[in-house]
Amino acid sequence: MNPIHYVRQLEIEEPSRLISKEFGSADDIVPQNQLELKDKQQSAFVNAGSLVTFEAGVSTQHQEDFLNSILLAQLAADKKFSRYNQVVDWYKFYSDVLTNIGWPGNFEFTEYDSGGAQVEVDKVVIQILTALAGGVASAALLATIKALGDLPGDDRKFLIFSSRSQHLESANFQISRVIETNGVLQVRLGAVYFKSDKRQVRFLWFSFDSSKIKLYKGGQNILLVEDTYNKVRGVIKEKLGDNATNFIGNLSI
């Protein structure tokens, strides 16, 4: 399908429904006018139910492109499937959106076995992305997770991530590490879904009893196909409208 037509026919979640009643309404979150993008500097963002880390060297244009891409994929998947009860279908459609706009890839989930009595969700995330990076841990990624955890519970960015990544005892979220080398944009994207026996707002830093949580993980390395994305950059921004700033927020790392 023509990528421009594909984006134009996509339906996305309505803005008024982006914040669940569990955490508040969209009116409770003060919108921001624009993102603070810093050219080729290390930075981090909350993006609906995703966390994004940009390593030093990523241009502002590529930062905006990736942030808009994964927001579009999330909102389109949220419109079509339940993020918490139709997880396989949700990710299939999420991947389909990314593929059609220039980010070809596909998620394959496996059940996570902690090998111990406890499951620490942040450690799982770090293991996924470290494996994708060939065993190299990223200081910027660790700083991103810490920055989100340091936010108070009523902070706009914390509310956005919490409201779009979890519901009751389930959570479904993504964390990306973005690298640019000689103009080529590479993303190491990890995804986690779990269902436990308790609701925990700060689930990313919580230690769950391994016998009372089912956790699935997936990850992939994806490269941006510039020729495809250049065609749809404008229509994606048009499709997202105010969502492109209202539901993305800078983290200090």
Query: How far apart are the two ends of the chain, measured CA to CA in Å?
Result: 40
Tens of pLDDT, residue by residue, the chain (253 residues): 799 999 999 999 876 554 544 555 444 454 555 678 999 999 999 999 999 999 999 999 999 999 999 999 999 999 999 999 999 999 999 999 999 999 998 878 888 887 888 888 888 888 888 887 777 778 998 899 999 999 998 899 999 999 999 988 999 999 999 999 999 999 999 999 999 988 888 888 888 998 889 999 988 999 999 999 999 999 999 999 988 888 899 999 9
Locate the domains of the chain by residue range: 43-251
Helices (H) and strands (E) in the chain, counts: 8, 10
pTM of the model: 0.91
The CATH T-level fold of domain 43-251 is Delta-endotoxin CytB (3.40.198)
| Greatest pairwise CA separation for the chain in angstroms | 50
